[in-house]
Chains A and B, each alone.
Chain A
Amino acid sequence: AQSVTQLGSHVSVSEGALVLLRCNYSSSVPPYLFWYVQYPNQGLQLLLKYTSAATLVKGINGFEAEFKKSETSFHLTKPSAHMSDAAEYFCAVSDPGGYNKLIFGAGTRLAVHP
C-alpha cells in the first residue's frame, strides 16, 4: 500500500534562507507525487506534481522538487524563503489501486521569520 512520510512537522527558516521540506514515499508501483500548500483558513493549492516526465519538477512560487527513486524521496525546496511562504505543506501520492485517490502525509508547517 502507498504511504507518505513527511519528516518534521514544523520547520522554521529565516527570510531569504533555503527552504527544504522532506517527503518520503512508499509505493509498489511507479508513483505519482504531489505537493500541496494550505494557507490559514483555505483549501489546498497545488504547488507541483511528478508524473515521470522529468525528475526535477518546477512549480509555482519558486518551489521545485526532485524525485529520487533510489531514496524514495520527493523533497520540496525553494532557494530563498519569503514571509508569504509561511503555510502548511502536504506531500501526497496517488493510489493507483484506489482509483488514484490521494494519500497525504501529515504535513509540515513552515514558519518564516525576519
Chain B
Amino acid sequence: KAGVTQTPRYLIKTRGQQVTLSCSPISGHRSVSWYQQTPGQGLQFLFEYFSETQRNKGNFPGRFSGRQFSNSRSEMNVSTLELGDSALYLCASRFRLAVQETQYFGPGTRLLVL
C-alpha cells in the first residue's frame, strides 16, 4: 500500500497570506490527523477528521482550519499567516479512532513564513 502523501513538501509564504496543505491517507484509512512540529513547541496536535467530520481539535487559533473529503483526503488551511506559523506540518492517518490504532505519518510539509 502506498503511504501517506502530503503536498506540497515545501512552501514559502509571507505574513498575512493564507496557505492550504493537502494530505492523502493510506487507502482505506478514514481518519486524518494534523500535527504541527516546531523546535520550540515540539509536536502539537491540530485536529483530526473522521468520515468528513472534525472529531477533535487542539489549542490553536481559529486561523487554523481543515476539512476532509468523501475520499478521506484532507486539507488544512492557515489564514493570515504569522512568522510563528513556520513549522513542519505532519499529517497522519489511521483506519479507525480506536485507542490502540497506529497512526501512520506522512513526510510533512515544511512551511516558511517570511
Residue B68 is within 8 A (CB to CB) of chain A in the complex: no
A25 and B30 CA atoms in complex are apart in Å by 28
**Stretch among A13-21, A39-47, A68-76, A78-86 lining the B interface:** A39-47
Residues of chain A from 96 to 114 with CB closer than 8 A to chain B in the complex: 96, 98-107
Q: Is A94 part of the contact surface with B, judged by Cβ < 8 Å? A: yes
Cβ of A26 under 8 Å from chain B: no
Number of interface residues of B (CB under 8 A): 25
With most chain A CB atoms within 10 A of its CB, the pick from B55, B98, B103, B106 is: B103
Residue of A with least CB distance to B47: A101
* CB-CB nearest in chain A for B100: A51
**A43 with B106: CB separation less than 8 A:** yes
Contact A100 B106 (CB under 8 A): no
Residues of A with C-beta under 8 A to B100: 32, 49, 51, 94
Interface centre among A98, A101, A105, by most chain B C-beta atoms within 10 angstroms, is A101
A90 an interface residue at 8 Å Cβ cutoff?
Answer: yes
In the complex, which of the residues A43, A90, A96, A106 contacts B4, with contact meaning CB atoms closer than 8 Å? A43
In whole Å, how far is B23's beta carbon from the nearest beta carbon of chain A? 11
List, sorted by A's number, 6 A–B pairs whose CB atoms are closer than 8 Å. A43-B108, A49-B100, A94-B100, A99-B48, A99-B50, A101-B56
Point out residues on A near B: beta carbons under 8 Å: 32, 34, 36, 41-46, 49, 51, 90, 94, 96, 98-107
A-B pairs with lowest CB-CB distance, top 7: A43-B105, A104-B43, A44-B105, A51-B100, A99-B56, A100-B99, A43-B107
